[in-house]
Copies of this chain bind each other. A is one copy, B any other.
Amino acid sequence: MHETIQGTRPGDRTIRLTRPGEQKLRRIGAGAFEATINVLRPTTRLGRWTANLRHVLIGRPIATADQAHERLSKFKALAVFSSDNLSSSAYATEEILLVLILAGTGSLNYSVPIAFAIACLAAIVVTSYVQLVRAYPGGGGAYAVTKENLGTSTSLVIGSTLFVDYILTVAVSTAAGVAAITSAAPELYSARIEIAVAFVALLTLGNLRGIRESGSLFAIPPYIFILSFGGMLGVGLVRLLLGDDLHAATQTRALEEGTQALTLFLLLRAFSSGAAALTGIEAIADGVPSFKAPEARNASVTLVWMACILGSFFIGTTILATQFDIIPAEDRTVVSQIASTVFGDGPLFYVVQVSTAMILVLAANTAFAGLPTLASVMARDRVMPTQFAFRGDRLAFSNGILVLGAASSAVLVLFEADTHKLIPLYAFGVFVAFTMSQAGMVVHWRRLRTPHWRAYLALNALGMLVTGVVAVIVGATKFVDGAWLSMSAMGVLYVVLWSITKHYEDSNDQLGVGLTDERSIAEHFYGVSSGRAHTVIVPVEQINRAVLRTVAYARTLSAQAVAVYVTDEREAGDAFRRQWEESVPDVPLTVVESPYRSLIEPLMAFIEGMDRTQPGQAVTVVLPEYVVKRVWHRALHNQLGVRLKKALRSRPNTIIVEVPYHLER
């Protein structure tokens, strides 16, 4: 047995297998194997059952080599990533009008220039993000650009604000969708939290199936929305140009005095409210690696398409609202007023309404595409736990998806799926991210000085200024209504991320010391050559088969292994020694009398003593471990092991080896 091992390189021995069809490892070179799909084949009934459940819920595992097939085409990507952004055309105009009307109906006409100004801002931000995507094709968006140009600490600010905003995106859009359902079917109102959480669970599951499949699953509603909403705006504008006299049917737009004066601040507030339309631009930059190659190019093209659609929808909606003399009402949205003005009460009206409701819910899906990829980028940078970089069975970043699903469900439960409570918490984070990412780009241009860098720099500086102002206004106006809560959450998250980063850096410092010097490995660390003895101690409590096997194992580690028995009665010690010398004559026994009945402390003293005789060497403590069939049986065994492990945990250079003994009953 022993001789066959000598001289061969163990890793190269052919792995013998029971049956050819069940081969688990395939030899692919010297010391190199490839695992087959067989390694995943469960061996127990429970294992098979859970594997089948996984296959039904999220599908069969996909090999890493097939990753390229799992990417998104521009067509699907537009559906996945634009949902959040385009859904804002459903409410951005209304948000502007709701602020302006405070200064009277006469001021509503200011909405058109404001909409154009926001479109300009969007153009600046999108241009800057196109540059950003090309400069950071690995994904991570604002986080990546900030990390490289403004340092890790600043990038953690971005990470925490974006995480909170993504979680809130899921919560807000789900709550809005559920609100649409419960206003149609009020009897479901009491179950709204359950319905909202069920929606999130559905999105989580869909995204665990992999980005391509979730893209297919959730692609149709965005395109129905684009077609019907675009159609509505087109028909409306054409009819206006043809001179049809269209007005909102339900209201007459009399000149009314407002409660506030039309100040610059009010105009700025209206601008900030409408600027919520910009949320969702970040998601594409975060999710670049989800695109088919060439990733950066495809992402930029999708980004530009999305911006054009959003811009035209937003401006179109605003023009039509002004031309139709629409004023915001409590019981009817601006979009539904436009739709009914253009289409009357026909089926097209309902198509616009239903597809608008669906895009509002699917805005959550964009967050599921953005956050997990961002988290994976951060995990690779070791500012998040490494688990977030792991791709699951379907190549999706499962841990990020699960955490997002759980966190947004928690938010929904906490705020009772109430949009009015949730909306004030939202949108601050993304403007902080915009501001910082443009600041990062400013540094980027100063650093690289590529052609036309001055123009780009100026553009980004302007973008930074404007988004910064919006961030301040959004934060200030929403602060008391709830933004303080999301800001606090961002603060806490920042501390968590910072601590993780710090710990990984510390670990790295400690683990990397003198790495290049280590060649003669066993000698360097333990001062002994390979396979030579070191201190091996076996604490024994009784003589049985498990103990004997443990002692046997200790002997294979070292011929100098020594057993130690602690007793509180001298007679018991003598009796044990007689029994021991009869059973195991080749392993010396030390008996330690413990007059105060303590067990761990005398053992520790003995181990310390042994250690002192051979300083620097490793001390190995070998213990039997009774592996039991039932959980409660554990309380009946291994007390010494549990306590000794705890006591030895802080001792340097001490290794505890538990030799398992399987009890079948």
Segment of A97-105, A140-148, A518-526 engaged in the interface with chain B: A518-526
Question: Which residues from B are CB-within-8-Å of A503?
Answer: 628, 630, 633, 636, 665
**Distance A531 CA – B560 CA, assembled complex (angstroms):** 8
Q: Which residue of B lies closest to A63 (CB)?
A: B595
Segment of A122-130, A343-351, A601-609 engaged in the interface with chain B: A601-609
Does A510 have its Cβ within 8 Å of any Cβ on chain B?
yes
User: Which residues of chain A from 502 to 537 have a CB within 8 Å of any chain B CB?
Assistant: 503-504, 506-508, 510-515, 518-522, 524-528, 530-535
Q: Indicate which residue in B31, B37, B556 contacts A596 across the interface (CB closer than 8 Å).
A: B37
Does A447 have its Cβ within 8 Å of any Cβ on chain B?
no
Question: Which residues from B are CB-within-8-Å of A2?
Answer: 528, 532-533
Does A381 have its Cβ within 8 Å of any Cβ on chain B?
no
Question: Which residues from B are CB-within-8-Å of A646?
Answer: none
A64-B569, A526-B552 are contacts. A25–B609 as well, Cβ < 8 Å? Answer: yes
Does A587 have its Cβ within 8 Å of any Cβ on chain B?
yes
Does A390 have its Cβ within 8 Å of any Cβ on chain B?
yes
- Indicate if the CB atoms of A34 and B595 lie closer than 8 Å: yes
Q: Shortest beta-carbon distance, A289 to chain B, in Å?
A: 14
Does A231 have its Cβ within 8 Å of any Cβ on chain B?
no
- Indicate if the CB atoms of B657 and A655 lie closer than 8 Å: yes
User: Which residues of chain A from 10 to 63 have a CB within 8 Å of any chain B CB?
Assistant: 10-13, 15-17, 24-25, 28, 31-35, 37-40, 61-63
Segment of A82-90, A353-361, A424-432, A611-619 engaged in the interface with chain B: A611-619
- Indicate if the CB atoms of B28 and A593 lie closer than 8 Å: yes
A555-B522, A655-B657 are contacts. A564–B11 as well, Cβ < 8 Å? Answer: yes
- Indicate if the CB atoms of B659 and A655 lie closer than 8 Å: yes
**Distance A131 CA – B216 CA, assembled complex (angstroms):** 86
Segment of A193-201, A260-268, A458-466, A540-548 engaged in the interface with chain B: A540-548
Which 10 pairs, one residue from A and one from B, show the smallest C-beta to C-beta distance? A15-B609, A11-B590, A24-B605, A35-B602, A511-B544, A39-B601, A525-B552, A506-B665, A531-B559, A63-B595
- Indicate if the CB atoms of B390 and A597 lie closer than 8 Å: yes
Does A639 have its Cβ within 8 Å of any Cβ on chain B?
yes
Does A481 have its Cβ within 8 Å of any Cβ on chain B?
no
Q: A15-B606, A530-B558 are in contact. List 20 more A-B contacts (CB 8 A).
A: A1-B614, A1-B616, A2-B533, A10-B588, A15-B610, A15-B613, A24-B602, A31-B577, A31-B589, A32-B593, A34-B593, A35-B593, A39-B601, A521-B584, A525-B552, A526-B556, A530-B556, A531-B531, A553-B618, A655-B660
- Consensus secondary structure, chain A interface: mixed
User: Which residues of chain A from 569 to 609 have a CB within 8 Å of any chain B CB?
Assistant: 569, 573, 577, 583-598, 601-602, 604-606, 608-609
Question: Which residues from B are CB-within-8-Å of A604?
Answer: 39
Q: Which residue of B lies closest to A585 (CB)?
A: B519
- Indicate if the CB atoms of A32 and B521 lie closer than 8 Å: no
**Distance A64 CA – B560 CA, assembled complex (angstroms):** 32
A526-B556, A626-B507 are contacts. A591–B16 as well, Cβ < 8 Å? Answer: no
**Distance A64 CA – B12 CA, assembled complex (angstroms):** 58
Does A221 have its Cβ within 8 Å of any Cβ on chain B?
no
Q: Which residues of A contact B (CB under 8 A)?
A: 1-2, 4-5, 9-13, 15-17, 24-25, 28, 31-35, 37-40, 61-65, 385-387, 390-393, 500, 503-504, 506-508, 510-515, 518-522, 524-528, 530-535, 543-546, 548-549, 551-553, 555-562, 564, 566, 568-569, 573, 577, 583-598, 601-602, 604-606, 608-610, 612-614, 616-618, 626-628, 630, 633, 635-637, 639, 649-650, 652, 654-665
- Indicate if the CB atoms of A556 and B531 lie closer than 8 Å: yes
Q: Shortest beta-carbon distance, A417 to chain B, in Å?
A: 30
A511-B544, A515-B543, A515-B544 are contacts. A552–B522 as well, Cβ < 8 Å? Answer: yes
